Structure 1
Amino acid sequence: MSFLGATPVGMPPTQVYENLEKGVIDGAVFPWDAIKGFRLEGLLKHHYDARVYTACFHVVMNQAKYNGLSAEARKAIDDTTGTSMVNRFGELWGKWDQAGLDAVKARGNSIVSVSGEQREKWRAQLKPVIDKELGDIEKAGVGNARAIYDEMLKQVARPVK
């Protein structure tokens, strides 16, 4: 956020309400579901719908340990993880976000959406930050970091089914 002129302050989400209330911070970057979950819709009156967040969760298991499981256990894992769950979680996140957005609207709070022009300005401002990060990742041994990033951008641009 500092590249945009803000001063980021790290804190657990459970402390955001109290710090907003005391004036220690002026705002927070949260997904809509967290606005409702942490009861911020009553404290925050103005919202900037930037959609700049993402959530990333992984279920990771050692291949040898997985192979050592019974066929039944492997099937249970396979049936509840993978691409099908990626799509399912996308749907769920949309519902959770909608509930938070509805809570904000019910309070009559103002919501401003980011314009395409502003989003492009941010992308331009972020380019040096992204290039540096990708360079650092490549130096750390991930030689195809740029290709991975480019593929991620393609996936994000895909329409959601």
Structure 2
Amino acid sequence: MVDWPTVVASVSLSALGSLAVTEFQLRREKSLEESAEVEEWYGECYSYAFQVRRDWNKNFGDVDTYEMNLSELQSNLSLLETQITRHASEGERMDLDDDVINKLDKLAEECREATNRGLHNNSVEEFNEIEDDILEAARSVERSVDNR
């Protein structure tokens, strides 16, 4: 005679085990996807900081190219400010490192300041202050990403 309670229990345990393995695999895949997304977000933070420094140095890193194209630089900084602000918001939504997000916000603010103040209308001291602030904000983002 067949022991039905044992058969039912055996089939139930097998099904539960199979469901648990499937659930584990799905959670693991989701975790790996989220991890890749987080790494990509931090990589983009570093990229934005590098772009700000590159654009600035391209225009002001060499005395011979001092007035290369201020309107192009201001346009680039304005675009980067928008992208950086959006990227920081994504980091907040993903609940990532507040220090990096705050540094990104500061970098966006410095890009906005440089754009709003009109780089060509400043004295040398004001220009140097803008330069120091924007480059330090970019380096600060890079350090925060490196130290996380």
Q: Taking structure 1 as the reference length, what is the TM-score of the superposition?
A: 0.27
Question: Greater share of strand residues, 1 or 2?
Answer: 1
Greater Cα radius of gyration, structure 1 or 2: 2
Q: Taking structure 2 as the reference length, what is the TM-score of the superposition?
A: 0.29
Q: Relative contact order (alpha carbons < 8 A, sep ≥ 6): 1 or 2 greater?
A: 1
Question: Greater share of helix residues, 1 or 2?
Answer: 2
